[in-house]
Amino acid sequence: MEPIRQVFRTGIRRVAVVIDRWSGGRAHPDAVTVIGCLAHAPIALLIATGSYIWAAVLLAIFGLFDTLDGQLAQVQKRQSARGMLLDAVTDRIKEILLYIGVAYSIIATTGRPYLAVWAVAACGCSLLTSYLNAFGDVVMTHAGVKHIANKALRGGLLPFEIRMAVLIAGLLSGRLTLAVIVIALGAAYTALSRLVRVARALAQTHV
């Protein structure tokens, strides 16, 4: 998976270089982050109204913004703690918007409103994985654990980009309910695995 990510990041970096040159350095990474986040509101509406193919296409396109803003920040040497915070917060907003749309769609199309609980579970478990990543990083740093160990928290079975890929697959195949069930279970497992990693790292420091 990591070699694929590296190839993908290299391609996005080239796009970032082109955007930077085309804009004369005026395209700010934070603007890319905000635009990508705002675009998820109409995507959620498309999901809610059953326009799955368009939703999947736009989700794939604007999903690239999640990597593009970071690459643009590197190209322009504008990496900052504020940018990292904005990126993390907007990612969570995206997921909340998307799962609202998913829950509505499931209720409207299946005739079994109780299945929407899986959208709630997918959203909750997804947020939990991100919380464990952020708070686990803080706790481990405070305990003196090497930062390279903290970065291991960002992986797992279903990190953010894989969850979005599963959702896109569910939209394209028309198996939206199945997709959110996979996301809910996979994100729960990812959260648990991250919790275990933090606990083990802290145990080694006797904190």
Residue ranges and CATH numbers for the domains of the chain are 2-205 (1.20.120.1760)
**Counting Cβ atoms within 10 Å, is residue 122 exposed (0-12), middle (13-18) or buried (19+)?**
buried
Using one digit for the tens of pLDDT, what is the confidence trace for 31-68? Answer: 999 999 999 999 999 999 999 999 999 999 888 878 88
Contacts of 113 (CB under 8 A, 6+ apart): 106, 107
pTM summary value: 0.85
**Residue 123 in contact with residue 139, Cβ under 8 Å?**
no
Using one digit for the tens of pLDDT, what is the confidence trace for 110-145? Answer: 989 999 999 999 999 999 988 887 776 666 666 666
